[in-house]
Amino acid sequence: MADKIKSFGETVRDLRESKGLLLRQVAAELEVDTAFLSKMERNEKKASRQQVLKLAKALETKEKELMTLWLSDKIVETLNEESEAYGALKLTEKRLKEKK
The model's pTM: 0.86
Amino acid sitting at position 39: K
**Greatest C-alpha distance within the chain:** 44
C-beta atoms surrounding 66 within 10 Å? 21
Buried b (16+ CB within 10 A) or exposed e, 40-54: bbeeeeebeeebbeb
Give ∠ CA 19-24-30 in degrees, rounded to 5: 85
CATH 1.10.260.40 fits 8-98, yes or no: yes
Work out the pLDDT band at 61, boundaries 50, 70, 90.
very high
pLDDT tens string 5-30: 899 999 999 999 999 999 999 999 99
